[in-house]
Amino acid sequence: MNSSPVPESGRAPLVQLSGVSKSYGGVMAVSGVDLEIARGEFVAIMGPSGCGKTTTLRMLAGLENPSSGSIRLNGEEVRDLAPWQRDTPMVWQSLALFPFLSVIENVEFGLRMRKVGRAERRRRATDWLARLGLADFAQRRVDELSGGQRQRVALARSLVTEPPLLLLDEPLSALDHHLSLKMQGELTRLQRELGIAFVYVTHSHSEAFAMADRVVIMANGEVAQCGAPMEVFHRPASRFVAEFLGGNNIFQADVVARDGSRLELRTPEGRFTAEAGAQGGAALAAGAAIDLVVRADRISLTAKPGWATNEVACTLVGEEFIGSTVNGHLETSGGKQIVVQLNAKDLEEIELDVGRQFYASWHPEDCHLVQRPHAAH
**One-letter amino acid for residue 318 of the chain:** G
Nearest approach, Cβ of residue 89 and ligand ADP (Å): 18
Nearer to ligand ADP, 31 or 191 (CB): 31
Among Mg ion, ligand ADP, none, the one that 27 touches (CB under a kind-dependent 5 to 8 A) is ligand ADP
Q: How far is the CB of 51 from ligand ADP (least distance, A)?
A: 4
The CB-nearest residue to Mg ion is: 54
Nearer to ligand ADP, 146 or 173 (CB): 173
Q: DSSP letters along 74-126, please?
A: TTEE-TTS-GGGTT--EEETT----TTSBHHHHHHHHHHHTT--HHHHHHHHH
- Please give the Cα distance from 253 to 268 (Å, whole number): 8
Min CB(204)–ligand ADP separation in Å: 14
**CB nearer Mg ion, residue 66 or residue 364:** 66
Picking from 282, 284, 55, the residue whose alpha carbon sits closest to that of residue 274 is 284
Phi then psi for residue 293, to 5 deg, are -115, 125
Distance of CA 104 to the CA centre of its chain: 33
The answer to whether 327 touches 290, Cβ cutoff 8 Å, is no
Our CB check for ligand ADP shows the closer of 63 and 326 to be 63
Residue 18-57 contact track with ligand ADP, rule CB under 6 A, x = bound = ------x--x-x-----------------x-xxxxxxx--
Other C-beta atoms lying within 10 Å of the C-beta of residue 375 = 4
Write out the residues near Mg ion by the rule CB under 5 A. Answer: 53-54
Among residue numbers 52 through 91, which ones bind ligand ADP (CB under 6 A)? 52-55
Q: Does 300 bind ligand ADP (CB under 6 A)?
A: no
Q: Is residue 18 helix, strand or coil?
A: strand
Q: Which residues bind ligand ADP (CB under 6 A)?
A: 24, 27, 29, 47, 49-55
